[in-house]
Amino acid sequence: MPDEARWYVVHTYSGYESKVAATITTIVENRKLHDLILDVNVPTEIVTEIKDSKAKEVERKIFPGYVLVKMIMTDESWHVVRNTRGVTGFVGPGSRPIPLTDEEVLSLGVEKHEIELSYGVGDSVKIMGGPLEGFIGTVEDLAPEKNRVRVIVSMFGRETPVELALDQVETIV
């Protein structure tokens, strides 16, 4: 039996995403399947719509017709999700569901990973990778949600901003 839970994409009738997610969650509660189906997610975003010169914030589904389910793929968990009213099937070739890769999960923003940084804006850091490896600069901006840091490096007597991944720099001790 596979022991690692992965994210799978479930195709639903359009407009049934929230109902499908609620139904799967209820089935998990009733049948005590918390160890097989860990999370159900309908990715949404808040969008400002302007209608009749009035701005209104609206929650919109990012992927209409799809629900994300984090589960351990077994015959039982597959059967529960597949036979939920409103579900047309898993995304994948034929009847075989394909889990999302870690990169896809991160880019979708489904799972939030806490990142602890040993440096902050204004700190001096050493670049540990890339073409500027070994250079020392000052952190100008941090974007942990995008895994990016902007460092100001002095090159040829000029201050040059450089975008790097968070793990490409380390604090100077």
**Tens of pLDDT, residues 58-107:** 888 888 999 999 999 999 999 999 999 999 999 988 777 899 888 888 77
pLDDT-based confidence at 3, cuts 50/70/90? low
Domain identity same for 94 and 160: no
Give the range of the structural domain holding residue 65, as residue numbers without chain letter. Answer: 6-108
Domain identity same for 14 and 92: yes
% residues pLDDT > 70 (the chain): 94
Q: In this predicted model, which residue has the larger pLDDT, 48 or 110?
A: 48
Domain identity same for 95 and 15: yes
Domain identity same for 29 and 76: yes
> Across 25-167, where does the E strand assignment appear?
37-41, 44-51, 54-61, 66-71, 87-90, 124-127, 136-143, 148-155, 158-165
Q: From CA 90, how far away is CA 68, in angstroms rounded?
A: 10
Number of domains in the chain: 2
Q: With CA atoms as reference, report the closest residue to 69 among 126, 107, 28.
A: 28
Domain identity same for 91 and 128: no
Domain identity same for 11 and 72: yes
Burial 131-144 (b: 16+ CB within 10 A, else e): ebeebebbbeebee
We report the CATH number of the domain holding residue 147 as 2.30.30.30
Domain identity same for 102 and 163: no
Tokens representing 4? 């690692």
* Alpha helices per DSSP H over the chain: 17-31, 75-82, 102-108
**71 phi and psi angles, rounded to 5 deg:** -155, 160
